[in-house]
Amino acid sequence: MILNTTKNLARILLDLSIIAFSFFAATNLRILGLEATETTKFIVNEQLFKVIGIVLIVKFLCLSIIGVYKKFWRYTKVNDLIELGKAMILASAILIIPRLVAGLSPAKQDLFAISYGVIIIDFFLSLSSLSALRLLRFYLKEQSNIKSRLKTLSEKRKSTLVIGAGEGGLQVIEAIKTHPELGLEVKGVLDDDKKKFGMHISSGIDVKGSIEDVKYWVDELAIEQIIIAVPSSSLKEKKRISLLCNETGVDVRIVPSVDQLAGGHVDISEIRKLSMEDLLGREEINLNTPEIIDFLKDKKVLVTGAGGSIGRELCKQILRHGNIKELCLLGKGENSIFESKQELERLKNSLAKHLEISTKICDIRNYSRMENIISEFKPEIIYHAAAHKHVYLMEQNPCEAFENNVIGSRNLMDLASKYSVENFVLISTDKAVNPTSIMGKTKRLAEKLLLDFAKNNSCTKYSSVRFGNVLGSRGSVIKVWQRQIEEGKSITVTDKKAIRYFMTIPEASQLVIQAAAKAQSGEIMVLDMGDPINIYELALQFIKLSGFSEADIDIEFTGMRQGEKLYEELLTSEEFIDSKLTDKIFKARIEEVDSKYLSEHVNTLTELANTNQNSAFVDEVSKEPLTKA
């Protein structure tokens, strides 16, 4: 059966020896428990030698059927011991059948009817002995691995503090102990549960105190690294702990949430560096709802600006959460579209191998080329993420900002109507609210055009989603700071009082998909950006996150540049929130657009942009109102 190798044969013989000894011991223990006569002892011992062969055969067959000999002892886990238990229960059930049939004491008549007492004692003895043998092999193998790893271990080990005295913290400590080559030494554990203070969580490691006192314990224990191991904690709690630990200035690592860990167990390779996303504490969005699945199901989706941060992430989220028919990546930069395609193809292979991903290189200002693409691809949903977004650069290039953000958007809106696209979604920005910059004003115009198209076209649902800054996007403040630190320069901040709204790229993209599914035509959806963040304080956190102190990195205040605001807004005074669609999505109330004035205004701006009359263009683009009085 499983006698294919010498090792397996040796294991089987060892198991059979243990089984025989356990049965012998169980029989004699049973005799000791009886006031047995010499005759009874003789009969019982005679039975022992008569049935021992049957016991060995039955138990061997049960172990083989359950698949015990397909497992390596050195990898023994709890599940393997459960399988062993099943085999022993099955064997005991078979061995008890003659006793049930006989209905009499084996000392009286039936030598094959083993007593209940012997079967019960034998079950526990054989199970515990077989389990102990496998656990011993596992322990010896682990010790051997640790010794081999110790050969590569440097004398200096990094003093480590673990945050969390729960299951996550215990698993982290055990993982560190079994991987000495990492060069880590756990000096203590912190937890907010006062009942755990002073308790030994593992050999030589105890709970020192509260997480609030992390700064004190870092100094007291000369800690060089902190590992946050609270995977099941709430997002708010993780943010609080992350901020406290980041304030210490030492290297901080974090264990991902439980659902990100296979089987809920901590893998040492999954422990990652603390990120700005952890400090922001933004929640993940659930897109696996019937509403969103139905919205995307079997649809042909076109994403403009698919090479940019938001466009690319939109494509990734659509692949992950929507059983779409086909995806088209459109962009002006060939390199960024190529990179997006490569990343999405890798993702597709694990999610939807049948899905076709096509790419188109095109400037959205080229109407005829865009018409050719849309008429050929026939999209049912268009996510329009392509835009010039850099505030300061657009101040220097106002006509370019207009042609891309307004004319390009108008081309797409018009073609969406012409070819009966079901849904057109404009990705907007908080800078379109009471705009002071050229970029904001052009995005505001794009929103107005969308409202006008929604009013005059019934076949296509036009909606817009407005949100603030995203962490990690190309040109974002975090990317700028990273480069400045790498180059040994000061970190630049516009003003000590400047505040901005931030969210992560995945969260923004997920909410865009959710908002588009819920919106009606002619609506501007506003994403909940959470609390505004002071840029100066964010810079201080980033310095510490990068492993430096305020004394190491200077912060230089550059002053507000042309077009920049001290405070960002998400709604104008007229756009007070009309309704709340979800905890994260609101609908802005928008006044009706004056179509005639808007058309004349855009035509005038188009003429000025075509002739590069920048000064006159800037004066014209600032004119308001764009709504009916």
Rounded-to-integer distance, Cα 360 and Cα 331, Å: 7
Average confidence (pLDDT) over 505-517: 85
pTM above threshold 0.75: no
Q: Which position has the higher pLDDT, 623 or 335?
A: 335
CA pseudo-torsion sign 216, 221, 223, 229: negative
**Cβ atoms of residues 191 and 164 within 8 Å:** yes
**Cβ atoms of residues 198 and 206 within 8 Å:** yes
Q: List, for residues 466-509, the tens digit of each pLDDT value.
A: 887 777 666 677 778 878 887 878 888 888 888 877 777 888 88
For residues 281, 287, 288, 292, the Cα torsion angle rounded to the nearest 10 degrees is: 160
The total number of residues shown for the chain amounts to 629
Average confidence (pLDDT) over 111-117: 68
Give yes or no for residue 40 having a pLDDT over 80: no
Average confidence (pLDDT) over 3-18: 70
Q: Which position has the higher pLDDT, 277 or 621?
A: 621
**Cβ atoms of residues 120 and 147 within 8 Å:** no
In terms of phi and psi (left: phi > 0; alpha: psi -120 to 50; beta: otherwise), the region of 612 is left
**Cβ atoms of residues 84 and 69 within 8 Å:** no
Q: At a CB cut-off of 8 Å and minimum separation 6, what does 625 contact?
A: 594
Instruction: Please give the pLDDT value at position 460.
Output: 94
């059948």: which residue's tokens? 97
Instruction: Please give the pLDDT value at position 572.
Output: 52
Instruction: Please give the pLDDT value at position 260.
Output: 45
Nearest to 442 by CA among 463, 462, 428: 428
* DSSP element (H, E) containing 163: strand 158-163
Average confidence (pLDDT) over 222-239: 85
Instruction: Please give the pLDDT value at position 519.
Output: 85
* Tokens linked to 90: 């099955």
Q: Which residues pair with 207 in a beta bridge?
A: 189
Rounded-to-integer distance, Cα 76 and Cα 136, Å: 10
């075509």: which residue's tokens? 610
State the chain's mean pLDDT as an integer.
80
Rounded-to-integer distance, Cα 468 and Cα 528, Å: 9
Q: List, for residues 561-586, the tens digit of each pLDDT value.
A: 776 667 666 555 455 556 666 667 87
Cα 513 to Cα 179, 235, 285, 384, 570, distances in angstroms: 42, 22, 10, 12, 19
CATH code for the domain defined by 290-621: 3.40.50.720
Catalytic residue among 299, 431, 441, 565: 431
CATH superfamily placement of domain 158-274: NAD(P)-binding Rossmann-like Domain (3.40.50.720)
Residue 625: is the preceding peptide bond cis (ω within 30°)? yes
Instruction: Please give the pLDDT value at position 261.
Output: 45
Give yes or no for residue 356 having a pLDDT over 80: yes
Amino acid identity for residue 215 in this structure:
K
Instruction: Please give the pLDDT value at position 269.
Output: 61
């004035």: which residue's tokens? 597
Mean pLDDT comparison of 43-52, 122-131, 251-260, 306-315, highest-scoring range:
306-315
Instruction: Please give the pLDDT value at position 264.
Output: 47
Give the range among 156-160, 162-166, 215-219 with minimum mean pLDDT. Answer: 156-160
* DSSP element (H, E) containing 206: strand 205-209
* Tokens linked to 80: 């393997």
- For 28-68, the DSSP string reads HHHHHTTT--HHHHHHHHHHHHHHHHHHHHHHHHHHHHHTG
Give the range among 79-88, 111-120, 336-345 with minimum mean pLDDT. Answer: 111-120
Average confidence (pLDDT) over 57-82: 72
- The confidence band for 442, taking pLDDT boundaries of 50, 70 and 90, is very high
Give yes or no for residue 403 having a pLDDT over 90: yes
Instruction: Please give the pLDDT value at position 315.
Output: 93
Give yes or no for residue 332 having a pLDDT over 90: yes
Average confidence (pLDDT) over 365-384: 96
Instruction: Please give the pLDDT value at position 392.
Output: 85
Q: List, for residues 408-429, the tens digit of each pLDDT value.
A: 999 999 999 999 999 999 999 8
Instruction: Please give the pLDDT value at position 152.
Output: 54
Average confidence (pLDDT) over 220-233: 88
Whether 431 is catalytic:
yes
Residues of the chain with CATH 3.40.50.720: 158-274, 290-621
Give yes or no for residue 270 having a pLDDT over 70: no
Percent of the chain whose predicted confidence (pLDDT) is above 70: 79
Instruction: Please give the pLDDT value at position 407.
Output: 96
